[in-house]
Amino acid sequence: MKLRDIIDSPCGLRYVIDSLPLASGYALRYLMDTEALTAPEDIAAAYSRMRKHLSAAGDGNLVSMLHSILCSLKDISHTLSRIGAGNTVDDIELFEVKALILLGRRVSAVLEKASQTSIAPHTGDLEDALKVLDPDGTEIASFYIYDSYSPELAALRADIRREADADRRTAMMDREQALEAGIRERLCQALHPSVPALQRLQEELARLDIDLAKAVQMLRMRLCIPEISTSGVTSYKGMYNPYVKEVVERAGGEFTPIDLSFGDGPVVIIGANMGGKTVVLKTAALCQWLFCFGMGIPAEEALIAPRERVFFISGDAQDMGAGLSSFAAEMKAIDGVVRASAEAQDGSRIAAMIDEPARSTNPIEGTALVEALVDILGQREVALLLTTHYNIPSSHCTRLRVRGMEDGKMNYRLCPAPEGDVPHEALNVAESLNISPEWTGKAKKLLEYE
């Protein structure tokens, strides 16, 4: 799965990606096309790369300098493929090849000067290619078919400069352009052996831009590098959702970081409305996906198990386009997890975060559906994190509860809730929202009657 496939998942992933300080549009497209990492060794390598960029990321001047160079990085894969296939490209494309080599050399020089050679791109094998495109050795990012490529061309151009007759000048310009075309063909042939090194350089520069941006973001947003779990258990200390945290803080509030552990049997979160259950679920999904792309994790500490598949199913999955009701859309989405777990050799390689499944149906059938789901996915060892208002017996799962209303204020932290009925706090919460007393009062009386 590529990043672009999941970027708009409603867990806040786009917010984190948008706040990555990337210098070039090409690096963003490269990142979007990156496949999610699933193998522990690949994820470890991605974080190790990011660690190598942390020292550079802490140097504001160096980052500014690199940004001002890398912002010119462009995707010239098509040009490189054409040269690689033996085609002749025009001056604009040759200019871009030359600009890429010079950009790589400038980045390397800046990093070498800052004693950051370990993250510098390799440009040593592009000396020949640069000589082809910079015959006068000016190292200036400009290009045309220089006089120095051919004495015949230089002489003809000198003649054109002296020629006053318009018709003769036109004929001479035709000859000049034919000579240029021949030289261009020769240049492309000379560049042919350097194409793999040029492709490598372009990729290295995009990855430098991305890794540097990840490292800068980690320092700015105070993210953490997670440990890779081998037991299948994922646990967070002080986990937060960067988007929700910003919204809360902008409104003058304070975000409550959450401690959470799951992956060793299903975890069901119960608790009051507005108690942050959905935010916990979204943040767990966000963290899992950030982990798959080797990015900093919004938590004080994180231990994360790699998964091959991650499902995040939010309760508001009404699919009008497909003509499905919210219940039908949700059931179909959850069924995707059930079927994937049935087909998987190892269910623990699947993580599923499901927000209030079957919420839109009657509580009797809803409870049965959720209990059955927890049972099935639990047996298949899927790392399940689920929120619900239904009373699911603790024999099937670990139950956590939002602490809920305490002294008129919501405590968002989670605590174990091994036994008993689900909290009945809807009316308290409604009252704290200033809902019409006529309505809440009547509801209370009905409950007393029951």
Partner 1 sequence: MPFVHELLKYRSVAVVGMEKNCGKTECLNYILRRLPSDGPGVCVTSIGLDGERTDQVTGTAKPEIILRSGMFFATSETHYRSRRLVSEIVDVSGETTALGRLITAKVALEGKVILSGPSSTLSLRRWMDSISGFGIGLTIIDGALSRKSSASPAVSEAMVLATGAALSCSMPALVDRTAFCVEMIRLPEVDEQKLPEEQTLTVSSMAQEVELAPEVRRIEVSGALTDRLLARLLTERRLPDIEVAVADFTRIFISPDSWRRFVRAGGRLRVHRRTALLAVCVNPLAPNGYRLDSDLLCRTLSDKIQLPVYDIRRQCEDEA
Which residues of the shown chain bind partner 1 in the complex (CB under 8 A)? Answer: 25, 74, 90-92, 95-96, 99, 141-145, 157, 160-161, 173, 176
The residue (of 45 and 158) whose beta carbon lies closer to partner 1 is 158
Closest CA to 348 of 282, 227, 228, 264: 264
Cα–Cα distance, 414 to 424 (Å, whole number) = 16
Instruction: Write down the least CB distance from residue 179 to partner 1, Å.
Output: 11
Instruction: Write down the least CB distance from residue 177 to partner 1, Å.
Output: 8
The residue (of 151 and 418) whose beta carbon lies closer to partner 1 is 151
The residue (of 176 and 211) whose beta carbon lies closer to partner 1 is 176
Instruction: Write down the least CB distance from residue 28 to partner 1, Å.
Output: 13
Instruction: Write down the least CB distance from residue 92 to partner 1, Å.
Output: 6
The residue (of 136 and 227) whose beta carbon lies closer to partner 1 is 136
The residue (of 173 and 344) whose beta carbon lies closer to partner 1 is 173
Cα–Cα distance, 159 to 393 (Å, whole number) = 94
Residue type (1 letter), 242:
P
Instruction: Write down the least CB distance from residue 359 to partner 1, Å.
Output: 46
Cα–Cα distance, 325 to 112 (Å, whole number) = 59
Sign, CA torsion 429/299/234/285: positive
Tell me how many degrees the CA angle 342-287-252 measures, rounded to the nearest 5.
135
Instruction: Write down the least CB distance from residue 95 to partner 1, Å.
Output: 4
* Tokens (6 digits) for 61: 């001047």
Which residue has 């809440």 as its token pair? 440
Contacts of 322 (CB under 8 A, 6+ apart): 329
Instruction: Write down the least CB distance from residue 298 to partner 1, Å.
Output: 32
The residue (of 65 and 173) whose beta carbon lies closer to partner 1 is 173
Are the C-beta atoms of residues 296 and 320 closer than 8 Å to each other? no
Contacts of 210 (CB under 8 A, 6+ apart): 20, 22, 27, 30, 31
Instruction: Write down the least CB distance from residue 142 to partner 1, Å.
Output: 5
Collapse the DSSP code of 390 into the 3-class scheme (helix H, G, I; strand E, B; otherwise coil) and give the result. Answer: coil
Cα–Cα distance, 259 to 223 (Å, whole number) = 15
Chain-centroid distance of CA 244 in Å reads: 18
Closest CA to 348 of 311, 373, 374, 381: 381
Collapse the DSSP code of 352 into the 3-class scheme (helix H, G, I; strand E, B; otherwise coil) and give the result. Answer: strand
Strands 301-304 and 309-313 turn out to be: unpaired
Give the H/E segment covering residue 261: strand 258-262
The residue (of 191 and 351) whose beta carbon lies closer to partner 1 is 191
The residue (of 173 and 324) whose beta carbon lies closer to partner 1 is 173
The residue (of 5 and 91) whose beta carbon lies closer to partner 1 is 91
Instruction: Write down the least CB distance from residue 96 to partner 1, Å.
Output: 6
Are the C-beta atoms of residues 258 and 239 closer than 8 Å to each other? yes
Closest CA to 3 of 24, 27, 21: 27
Tell me how many degrees the CA angle 362-363-369 measures, rounded to the nearest 5.
95
Instruction: Write down the least CB distance from residue 34 to partner 1, Å.
Output: 23
The residue (of 92 and 322) whose beta carbon lies closer to partner 1 is 92
